[in-house]
Structure 1
Amino acid sequence: MDRVNTYIISLEGKDIVNSQNNKKGYETKNKNNLFKGSLDYSLEAIKISEINNKLFYKKEGKQYTNAVVNVTFNYGNGNKKIDLDINDEKDMHNKSFDKVSYTYKRENGKRVEDSDVAFGLYQHKDMSTKEIREELYKNGFKLDGKQYVRFKRSSGSSRVGKCLFIRKDLYKDMMEWSYMGLKYGKNDKMDLASMEAYISLTTSSIIDTISIDPKSILVIEDFKSEFEDTVMATEWCDEEQRLITSKKKTIISNSIWDGQSLLDASVFEEKYKDKGFLLLRNRFFKSACFNTNIQQFFKDNKIRNINQLKGFTLAEKIEDIKLITTPSSIKYLKFKDYKTFGGDRDKCLEYWITNSDERFGVVKYEKPPTNMHEMVQTHYQLLNTLPLSYDDMRELLRPSLEYIKLLKDDLAVLRNHIGINLEKLEKWNIEDENFDFTNSDELVYKLLMINDDFANTKIFRKYKDNLIQSYKNNIRKGHILTNGNYSVLFGNSYEMLQASCGLFNGESILGLDEVSVKSFGYNMELIGIRSPHVTMGNVWCCKNKYNELLDKYFNTSNFIIHVNSIKNNLLERLSSADFDSDQILVTDNRILVNSAKKIYGKFLVPTDFTPKKTVNRTNSVEDKIDLDIKTSKNLIGEIINLSQILNSEYWDRLKSGKSVDSLYEIISQLDVMSCIEIDKAKKESVVDSEKELKLIRESEYISYGQITRDKKKKKVMCRPYFFKFVGEGKNYKFIKKDTPMDYLEQIIDKEVPKIESIDSTISLTDLLVDGNNHKSDRKQMQNIINKVGKLNNEINGVWASNMCYEDKIRYSVIKKEKIVDFISKLKISDETFTTLIYRLGSEYNDKYGNLKRIGLILLNILFLAHKNQFLNLFKQLKGDVEVLTEDNENLNNKLKIYEKTYKKSTKMIL
């Protein structure tokens, strides 16, 4: 097995159920596009390959396996076979039924079709998604004659209702490995939600593995900082069976090292010396492990013997200690009450250490932003929770508006922008919501570099218009580039080192709201925001401080931020943050910082006091079905949308002098609900989010209006104007509010003119080297056009479906790569290439109007399949082209783009 993601079959549950009357079940033969799912390169995939290394195979450079199947449950109407208990013809006439089928009796191995010997009649019944899930969880299914059974679901997959099934012959070995000695019968009580989440930790995508001897781990106690604070408390009311939110003075308890570990610098030395942390996975283990000079600290504090340490370890010498962690990272300890351990935590811990693998999966490490100049993008949730005035917003937008004008008017700037996009493309991952899988940047960039006249063609003008419109649309979503980054939270790091040998006294070397991060100047004021960001009480103002001890013992990069949560309600302010690789957006932008300071301390921190007791279920199929159905009802989007509607209402009412009594309480409650919703895959809650949302929508702060659809008037919810542009539905009435994001939209409406393309002056065909296009292969040409047209239709269909975002991207990329691979193997004459390009150059003529919708993607695929041949068809104008070079010295007559200055120079094209 190669260390890459593996393509797996992805099927809809109803299609599987409908196929199970066949002898072999669902048959994949002659069916295309089945491998739309992905089994990430992971500890799970490695283990499957160790059980049977023939399960993974390569085809056309891609890795596949049929060992695991992804099943979705988006549609009902599967057919369930209902036995009618009819055994003879007399019975058949005496019973009423419809849609009856029958199986055939076999005599001497041959099927007898005479109705006299027909038996086992049944009818088909439509099934709901719940019934389809029940059918497959209980009975599994056949695929190409092999039996599959329910396997696992990751927390991310469970939120969209997906579940993995595995070949039955692999199930026993894989589950024994996953449970690590924990054996629960189907009627045994257990924390099922946690177990399902923790056995799936090994399915997480990894980039590498590293070796750590489990006996080199030191486990110290978690520390909770308890203090009194006045907060906006959300609690559960048993009597009313709903949430109640109100101002309350109460005790806050912070777990200050929750999910983090200290990993000795020697482990980073070989491959990750320049990294500040690694997010590691193992069975029942998940932790953000930070690059720490552990042995240096021991030496400086005269820690020479194991008995000087304050924790549990199986190491024999102090030099052996490589990893310092806490029980919060070792999920196995949540099952210490299992019969083998009888509640003895040390016995449970010793079992986990002695049975753990030395191979730890590396999930990720910190990375710089991929945006221009390594800047960070704001988002509408942040902007709409700050008291930004219209003038503030205009000043914040000014660099972006200037840049749009430069993209429109200056070819050197546009060329530079495309070059930046190409660099970003190399760092692409499917979590980037702005990634364009049909990207034509390389094609356009190469043509611009060999012939500036390409900029005057219709196809380039269309590309340029689309690029600028896309940039404008991105800004409309609140994505404004500014100085900053996403930094990984590192909590009370020095205090954790102290605690390993009994030196921690409960105090922090960082003060309240002090941080230490290398990417900003010291003593600078910053703001920090964690996603999902809900309301004003989630904004964090902090000050960057240098600390010699942090610099001495921790090898952090620019993208790790030391924070202090002792006696500070920081974790709830950052929406139930912990330290298992949570990141925050950090910026020193003066407009944003000054705006945040105006409200800091004036809005109480939304704080969760809902019950957190374990919900014990049985290990039965029925409970797994019920748990997965509840988890698949993902309401996080609705919660965040509603919070932003109410934030807008808050600012609008405040500025118009209307009452805002109880409004902030409602918004704070939505913040708590968002955290409950995100965690429900591993923590069950008594909260009924659907009910709470319904009650909030019925409050006085939500207004309704009328719109006309299909010539009929319809009552709909009113939303702020900016929702029209953030992609959150059309069946609403949009009303301009006195709120920051509506200021943004109004400024763009007023100051960014609609894109009106200038007529092209050159045809694409004018740039071609003279040649004879009469010898082209018309049949081959039509085959290429048909395949690209089909690709375009398939991709459009996928993006119109309810497939999850990652699967849409993955499927689209696979399809595009297959077409490129197919065309790259064709021997295409220059004449055929030329004719195709001629037709594209005439794409608005009636004769070739069908190429209009696929023009750019066709051109791009031809380029990707035969780059050198394609470029050689175009006239190469030798000479100079204008390019930008970053130059922050001697600022006279320089071009300023955001935070950087450039000078223009010429580059010789040979």
Structure 2
Amino acid sequence: MSEYGIKIKNYEAAVIFEHNLGVRDFIDSTRAMLANSLFTEFLVANGLEMKGNDSTRDVVCINFNFGASSYKQQVNKLKKSYEKLKDLDPETRTQKKKKLDQVSAQLEEKKFDYQKKSIRDLRILFYEEGVTIPYYRLDRNMKPVLQEEIHYRMLYRTPGKAKLGSCMFIRDELYEKAKNFLRMEIQLPEHNAPIVEIGAYQSLITSSIAGKIEIKPEEILVLEDFDSFVNQNVNCIDVDDENHCVSRFVEGYRLKNTMFDGQALIDESIFPDWGNGYVLLRQHFTKCAAFCTKIQKFFKEYFGDSYESAFLTDMWGRKVKASNVKLITTDNALKFLKFDIDFEYWAECVRKNGCKFGVVKTAHESKLGELQQMSYQYINALDIDSMESVVEESAKYVQALKNEDWFFLDFLRRNANFSNDYEALVALVMNNPDFIYCDYFKQRRRAIINGYIKRFKNGKVLQNADNLVIVGNPFGMLMHAVGLDPEKDPTFESEADAIQCYSERFKNGEYLAEFRSPFNSRSNLGHLHNRLSPLISEYFKLGKQCIAVNLCHTDFQDRNNGLTKWVSCRETCF
């Protein structure tokens, strides 16, 4: 298995179906990857047959992008191909016509074998009955010879593939073992089974991971999430009797923030050095954004002399020894609770998996250093009168690209990839500094800068900003763990015209403009006030890529339609 995963085949359902009917000569495929995950490790340890060191036939990816054609549809396609012959030169026309005549003869011969199937029909067929895929090898005469046939069953469809409809199918012999692992052997009822829900949550453990952290279930403290409310005047979007959207003003509407929804605090002793303050964790039916915290330092100082004998109470009344706690999270991170599974059952499944939690994501700084690009959606949300100050940073950046050689070379280094010549240009200059004065380098520099200006005109405007990962009232979550009221979080205060936050990325006292990402509407723009609380600095290692926001008695979640990451820019840019 490579560092990225295991190579597999990617097929189209309609192509497989037509080949198995005998109306298509071969099954074409593309390459795909079964990414490194806790599930992939389980398969490798439980009978997955590898071809060489990095590929397998036991798992395939199947797409449902188009249906299978009928005989009549194939005839119409062939007619269109014949019509295109008139635009070709005589020699090419003769060659193409000969091939089309062969196709026409084969089409007529198999006219009664065609079956029309829509995408929905194919999906139902493959989901219910599975699919058989033949594999061929070439003999000495370069003719295909059937090597083996494998019957596959649909295993899971990841949430990330929901729009594309891609599904992972697995060999019959491995299906039950793999399904039981993904579902923790949860048995669904015969009627009204939550197929959609379990399909979404069982695939969490298949997420691609960059690393692993060992966390024992007895080291996890699960709390019931906490809701904070605020009464505020709002414009509500409603539907009238004629099914039209209407806006109505409501005074004193009660807004709710779920303060710790989907987040966790992870002790610094097990936090990976490469995490940058935040790791996104996956396990069986579990997902949470975990932030680096000095949990044990807080408990030692809170409990004092009774620290070694102190116990905390979780949401089910279980006693958890304070000195053992490595992870604090809430019920919203544990999706198995939706299926009436208790914590101990889940804990046993985690132990069978070696108590390993997969790290799916970490926080990363912008490729542009202190700068980040806005998008046209953000620009459209601002007043036209502010545009001069909005583009000021980009204008300075373009001038630096034109006039500062070191700045332009640094730009090339940051943006080099396999499809451009930036790395080669830098290498040539490093080998001979006078290369920057030659006509070729000047021509390339001019073209590269013009390309950047074109992107700028399409809305990629630079700001002193970055994409930051949000955590709600982290100190309040520590308070919640020891039974204190999180709404009395001393790290933030309520303000009339701004919401307080904590970001080491910006200076203390700065006012910030925040944009939700993705930016759905103008209402997803907020006004923050950066307050570098000593308590957060003392008990958390958030770094510059995370931001804590006050959710006590604010409209932050409603204003942003719920969010996981967003762009924060200095208000002075506007």
SS at match of 2:506: coil
Q: Report deviation, 1:260.
A: 0.5
Q: 219, 230, 233: which one pairs with 2:233?
A: 230
- 1:72 is the counterpart of 2:74: no
**For residues 492 and 147 of structure 1, do their structure 2 counterparts lie closer, same or farther at Cα, with a shift above 3 Å needed?**
same
Pair 1:101–1:47, CA change in 2 (3 A): farther
Give the superposition deviation at 1:557: 0.7
Is residue 556 of structure 1 aligned with residue 550 of structure 2?
A: no
| Alpha carbons of structure 1 residues 308 and 15: separation in structure 2 relative to 1, 3 Å | closer
Which residue of 43, 66, 71 maps to 2:38?
43
Which of the residues 162, 168, 175 maps onto 1:164?
168
The code of the aligned residue for 2:40 comes to: A
- Distance in 2 of aligned mates of 1:453 and 1:262: 53
The equivalent of 1:211 in structure 2 is: 214
Instruction: Tell me the TM-score normalised to structure 1 length.
Output: 0.53
Q: Does 1:370 align with 2:361?
A: no
Deviation of 1:244 after TM superposition, in Å, equals 4.5
Q: What one-letter code is carried by the residue in structure 1 that aligns with 2:330?
A: T
Matches within 5 A, 1:505-654: 506-509=487-490, 510-512=492-494, 513-577=499-563, 582-592=564-574
Letter in 1 for 2:378: L
* Paired AA for residue 350 in structure 1: E
The residue identity in structure 1 corresponding to 2:18 is N
Whether the 8 Å CA contact 2:275–2:362 is kept in 1: the answer is no
Partner of 1:476: 457
Residue 589 of structure 1 and its aligned partner are, at CA, apart by: 4.8
2 CA distance for matches of 1:385 and 1:521? 25
The 3-state SS of whatever aligns with 2:55 is: strand
Displacement of 1:183: 0.9
Secondary structure of 1:368's counterpart equals coil
Q: Identify if the C-alpha distance between structure 1 residues 505 and 454 changes in structure 2 by more than 3 Å, giving closer, same or farther.
A: closer
Aligned 1:172-211 pairs, distance under 5 A: 172-184=176-188, 187-211=190-214
Offset, 1:515 = 0.6
- CA distance in 2 between counterparts of 1:411 and 1:518 reads 31
Check whether the contact 1:263–1:291 (CA below 8 A) recurs between aligned residues: yes
Give deviations 1:648-701, integer Å, cap 9, x for gaps: xxxxxxxxxxxxxxxxxxxxxxxxxxxxxxxxxxxxxxxxxxxxxxxxxxxxxx
Alignment counterpart, residue 151 of structure 2, candidates 128, 147, 150: 147
SS of the aligned residue for 2:552 comes to coil
**CA displacement at 1:243 relative to structure 2:** 4.8
C-alpha distance in 1, partners of 2:526/2:440?
47
Q: Describe the SS at the equivalent of 1:289.
A: strand
1:251 offset after TM fit, Å? Answer: 1.9
SS in 1 for 2:114: strand
Alignment correspondent of 1:781: none
Aligned letter for 2:248?
Answer: S
Q: Is the 8 A contact 2:229 2:554 kept in 1?
A: no
Separation in structure 2 between the aligned mates of residue 69 and residue 240 of structure 1, nearest angstrom: 48
Paired residues of 1:217 and 1:314 also in contact (CA < 8 A): no
Aligned pair in 2 of structure 1 residues 299, 311: CA closer, same or farther (>3 Å)?
Answer: farther
TM-score by length of 2: 0.82
CA distance in 1, matches of 2:570, 2:516: 15
What's the counterpart of residue 323 of structure 1?
327
Q: Secondary structure at the match of 2:487?
A: coil
1:681-760 correspondence runs (5 A)? none
CA shift, 1:66, in A, is: 2.4
The residue type paired with residue 584 of structure 1 is W
Structure 2 distance, partners of 1:8, 1:283, is: 24
Q: CA separation in 2, counterparts of 1:463 and 1:203?
A: 44
Alignment-derived partner of residue 283 in structure 2: 282
2:50 corresponds to which of 33, 50, 55: 55
Q: Which runs of 5+ in 2 are unaligned?
A: 73-105, 136-148
Secondary structure, in 3 states, of the residue corresponding to 1:206?
Answer: coil
Identify the match of residue 419 of structure 1 among 401, 413, 419: 413
State how far apart, in whole Å, the 1-side matches of 2:310 and 2:245 are.
Answer: 49
Mapped partners of 1:498, 1:400: distance in 2 = 43
Aligned partners of 2:25, 2:364: CA distance in 1, in Å? 43
Q: How far apart, CA to CA, are the structure 2 residues paired with 1:78 and 1:149?
A: 23
Cα distance, 1:564 vs structure 2: 1.3
AA of the residue aligned to 1:533: F
Partner in structure 2 of residue 133 of structure 1: 123
Query: In structure 1, what is the Cα distance between the partners aligned to 2:421 and 2:396?
Result: 24
Q: Structure 1 residue 503: deviation in Å? A: 1.4
**In structure 2, C-alpha distance between the alignment counterparts of 1:26 and 1:188, rounded to whole Å:** 42
- The residue identity in structure 2 corresponding to 1:328 is N
Q: Which of 378, 388, 403 is the aligned partner of 2:384?
A: 388
SS at match of 1:124: coil
Task: State the distance in 2 between where 1:159 and 1:366 align.
Answer: 26
- Alignment correspondent of 1:351: 345
Relative to structure 1, is the Cα distance of residues 442 and 297 closer, same or farther in structure 2, using a 3 angstrom cutoff? Answer: same
Q: Please, which runs of 5 or more residues in structure 1 have no aligned partner?
A: 82-97, 103-120, 342-347, 426-436, 593-910
Corresponding residue for residue 13 of structure 1:
13
Once residues 132 and 197 of structure 1 are traced to their aligned partners in structure 2, the CA distance between those partners, rounded to angstroms, is: 21
Judged with a 3 Å threshold, the aligned counterparts in structure 2 of structure 1 residues 460 and 37 are, in CA distance, closer, same or farther, namely farther
Q: Distance in 1 between matches of 2:519 and 2:475?
A: 28
Going from structure 1 to structure 2, the CA distance change for 1:310 and 1:332 (only over 3 Å counts) comes to: closer
* 3-state DSSP of counterpart to 2:209: coil
RMSD between aligned alpha carbons? 2.9
Looking at structure 1, the residues matched to 542 and 25 of structure 2 have their Cα atoms a distance apart, in angstroms, of 52
| Residue in 1 that maps onto 2:357 | 360
Q: Which amino acid aligns with 1:530?
A: R
1:509-549: CA deviation from partner (whole Å, max 9, x where unpaired): 21231011112111111111111213332111111112222
SS at match of 2:562: coil
Residues 402-421 of structure 1: per-residue CA shift (max 9 Å, x gap)? 44355456655433322333
1:478, distance to aligned residue in structure 2 (A): 1.6
Q: How far apart, in 2, do the equivalents of 1:472 and 1:44 lie?
A: 45
Residue 308 of structure 1 and its aligned partner are, at CA, apart by 4.4
Partner of 2:249: 247
Q: Deviations over 1:458-517 (max 9, x none)?
A: 765664344223211221232122212221111111111111121126333212310111
Is the 8 Å Cα contact of residues 216 and 314 (structure 1) preserved in structure 2?
no
SS in structure 2 at match of 1:394: helix
**Residues 453, 363 of structure 1: CA spacing in aligned structure 2 closer, same or farther, 3 A cutoff?**
same
Secondary structure of the residue aligned to 2:177 is helix
Deviation at 1:22, TM superposition (A): 5.3
8 Å CA contact retained: 2:311, 2:321: no
Query: What SS is found at the alignment partner of 2:197?
Result: helix
Change (3 A) 1:234 1:203: farther
Distance in 1 between the 2:359 and 2:194 partners? 27
In proportion to residue count, which structure has more strand?
A: 2
Question: Is the Cα contact below 8 Å between 2:373 and 2:462 reproduced in 1?
Answer: yes
Query: How many residues align structurally?
Result: 515
**Which position in structure 1 is the counterpart of 2:302?**
301
CA distance in 1 between partners of 2:207 and 2:187 (Å): 23
Distance 1:290 1:14 in 2: 45
Q: State the Cα distance separating 1:150 from its structure 2 match.
A: 1.4
CA shift in 2, pair 1:464/1:167, >3 Å:
farther
Give the share of equivalent positions with the same residue, in percent. Answer: 26
Letter in 2 for 1:324: I
- State the shift of 1:42 in Å: 1.3
Question: Residues of 2 paired with 1:216 and 1:138: CA distance?
Answer: 41
Q: Tell whether the 8 Å contact from 2:470 to 2:546 is kept in structure 1 after alignment.
A: yes
Give the corresponding residue for 2:262: 259
Distance 2:313 2:71 in 1: 62
Question: Counterparts of 2:38 and 2:48 in 1: how far apart (Å)?
Answer: 14
Name the CA distance, whole Å, in 2 between partners of 1:8 and 1:274: 30
Greater CA drift, 48-57 or 534-543: 48-57
Question: 1:453–1:273: structure 2 CA closer, same or farther, 3 Å change rule?
Answer: closer
- 1:281, CA displacement in angstroms? 0.3
Corresponding residue SS for 2:542: coil
